Each structure stands twice: as C-alpha cells, then as structure tokens.
Homo-oligomer: A and B are copies of this chain.
Amino acid sequence: MKNNSKAEPQCSRCGIEYAFKRIGGKYKARILWNLKTGDQLRFGELLRTLPDVSTKMLTQALRELEIDNLIIRKVYHQVPPKVEYTLTESGRELLPFFKHLDDWASSQMANEVSSLDNE
C-alpha cells in the first residue's frame, strides 16, 4: 500500500508528478481508457483486453486505482463471483486528456512511418 494521502509539499508546479503517480503505471492508463465507454467491465474482461497483463499486476493496478478514487469496484456476492469496475467522476475527468493523447499518438505514428524511424 503505497498511498500517500499527504499533498506534495515542495513542488506546487509538479501536479504532473502527482498525476503520473496515479496513471503512470504500465497498465493503469490503458485500464482507464478501456473503461471510457462508461460501461462496467469485469475482471476477466479487463484481463483479456490487456494482452500482456497478469492477474497479479491487474489486481494491483486495480487496487491502486481504487485507492486513488479513479475507479469503483462493485462486488456481487454470488456463487460465481462477479466484480465490475467503473470510472469515478475523477476518473471520467481524465478522459479528455486521454482522448487528446490518443490523437497525438496517432499523428506521431503516422509521422513516424513516413520518415525513417523505428525503436
């Protein structure tokens, strides 16, 4: 549990740092982005959506997102367990950012293939 409820003291202009601690993980951004439709997704659905994630990492990312109040974890106490995740209000506020970032990435990728660049 690495949640720091304390506000950052020194770096008032570094909300960037604050933000990236919350969405900067390897999977967090994609999880949020996959929830953008507004529908709730189940654990297994998210697992299938992110090809390279394991249950452990997904659980961990989900927990942290929940702690940071970006997603809501809704548990159905049924015999086949069922858990659904949805964006919170704060999480939804991030969507325009992701949208623009997605657009930026598209233009960058288009630009890359036209020039000679690879990783």
Which A residues have a C-beta under 8 Å from some C-beta of B? 1, 3-5, 7-8, 10, 13-20, 22, 24, 26, 29-30, 33, 51, 67, 69, 90, 93-94, 96-98, 100-106, 108-109, 111-119
Contact = CB atoms under 8 A, between A and B. Distances in A.
Contact of A16 (B67, B102, B117): B102
A103 B15 contact: yes
Nearest to A111: B90
B105 A97 contact: no
A98 B5 contact: no
Nearest to A106: B15
How many copies of the chain does the oligomer comprise? 2
Contact of A29 (B5, B16, B69, B108): B16
A89 B115 CA distance: 15
Given A16-B30, A30-B14, A109-B8, A1 B116 contact: yes
Contact of A108 (B1, B90, B114, B116): B90
Given A20-B29, A30-B16, A30-B17, A3 B113 contact: yes
A52 to B, nearest CB: 10
A108 B117 CA distance: 38
